[in-house]
């Protein structure tokens, strides 16, 4: 019970830290442009930010609005695979949703500058878990992120950015759960998964409490996402229960342990440790549980446990680099 209580406290909120904004795209969050429903997504506009970075605004029937994604892409021609890179709980809120937190808080732009891969970065999705909610939320609005990411978006990326149909997905914190659910629910679409500092288990009551806490932290009603505990949506969105779908995928999963590390020697140390320490310690426990599940199923995966590190972006920047050989293999780069 002590370990479960720790997980409930530590993962109650998947925080991301504030950072400088990228201001090349000044569009506000677009208002709804069409009623939510079925249809074919279409490009509203593509705004080149640099030779290798574009902001893509997509009319999403599922979401009932224009959704921005940013794409890092090679300047040259030729087909290439795509890596979908998901945010933590804030999902770009620090820049008023002008860009993802990945491009604000890490050097992901520079890291992928010499790689023949599209990196697709959704903008928005605060506390959404990148899933299809059962119903709209008064605060967080319409969330049909799974439909957008898995059905509507890939054809647009492939058509406009020379995608070859080979995909992988990675995510941090809340986005780690989102990434794992995308792969387990759409195994035909993705060849690889990387999850950094996430909890990939919705079976334990404390884990479910942490999911609810994350949604509530941003003002949402958790019941609007997957309903009460008795709703089968919880099991349908449990990567641990549905782990068999990961067989044959390239998998990388990592976590720290919550103790101060090299990135806690500067800045607001007390605040970073007080918040990021328990969050990462809880993610560590969830990661161990998930590793036992994959071992039980005899599904190979790479697990990395750092003997230090809080729930913070400098470590996730490092983990993206460490996981790149696994993702590279999945993408066939």
Residue 194 phi, psi dihedral angles, 5° rounding: -130, 130
Give CA torsion, residues 237, 124, 121, 182, to 10 deg. Answer: 10
Closest Cα to residue 86, out of 168, 165, 26, 25? 168
Closest Cα to residue 226, out of 202, 246, 242? 202
311 a catalytic residue: yes
H or E, element range at 118? strand 118-122
173 a catalytic residue: yes
**Structure token pair of residue 110:** 């520079």
- Give the three-class secondary structure for 207: helix
Identify the active-site residue in 264, 311, 312, 319.
Answer: 311
Identify the active-site residue in 14, 90, 173, 312.
Answer: 173
Which residues does 238 contact at the CB level (< 8 Å), separation at least 6?
Answer: 201, 202, 203
Which residues does 180 contact at the CB level (< 8 Å), separation at least 6?
Answer: 171, 193, 195, 198, 200, 239
Instruction: Write out the catalytic residue numbers.
Output: 173, 280, 311
């Amino acid at each position: 019970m002590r370990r479960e209580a720790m997980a409930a406290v530590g993962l109650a909120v998947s925080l991301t830290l504030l950072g400088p904004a990228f201001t090349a795209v000044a569009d506000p969050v677009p208002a709804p442009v069409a009623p939510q429903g079925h249809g074919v997504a279409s490009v509203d506009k593509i705004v080149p930010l640099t030779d290798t970075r574009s902001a893509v605004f997509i009319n999403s029937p599922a979401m009932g609005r224009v959704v921005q994604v940013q794409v890092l892409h090679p300047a040259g021609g030729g087909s290439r695979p795509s890596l979908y890179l998901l945010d933590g709980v804030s999902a770009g809120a620090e820049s008023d949703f002008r860009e993802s937190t990945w491009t604000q808080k890490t050097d992901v732009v520079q890291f992928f500058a010499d790689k023949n891969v599209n990196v697709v970065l959704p903008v928005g999705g605060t506390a959404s878990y990148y899933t299809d909610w059962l119903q709209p939320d008064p605060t967080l609005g319409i969330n049909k992120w799974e439909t957008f990411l898995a059905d509507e978006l890939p054809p647009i990326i492939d058509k406009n950015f020379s995608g070859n149909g080979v995909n992988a997905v990675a995510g941090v914190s809340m986005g780690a759960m989102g990434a794992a659910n995308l792969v387990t629910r759409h195994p035909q679409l993705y060849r690889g998964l990387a999850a950094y500092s996430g909890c990939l288990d919705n079976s334990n009551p404390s884990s479910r409490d942490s999911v609810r806490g994350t949604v509530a932290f941003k003002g949402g009603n958790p019941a609007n996402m997957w309903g009460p505990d008795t709703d089968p949506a919880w099991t349908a969105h449990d990567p641990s229960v549905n782990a068999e779908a990961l067989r044959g995928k390239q998998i990388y999963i990592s976590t720290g342990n919550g103790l101060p590390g090299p990135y806690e020697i500067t800045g607001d140390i007390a605040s970073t440790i007080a918040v990021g320490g328990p969050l990462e310690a809880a993610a560590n426990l969830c990661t161990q549980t998930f590793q036992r599940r994959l071992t039980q199923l005899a599904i190979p995966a790479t697990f990395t446990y750092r003997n230090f590190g809080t729930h913070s972006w400098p470590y996730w920047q490092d983990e993206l680099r460490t996981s790149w050989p696994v993702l590279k293999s999945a993408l066939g780069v």
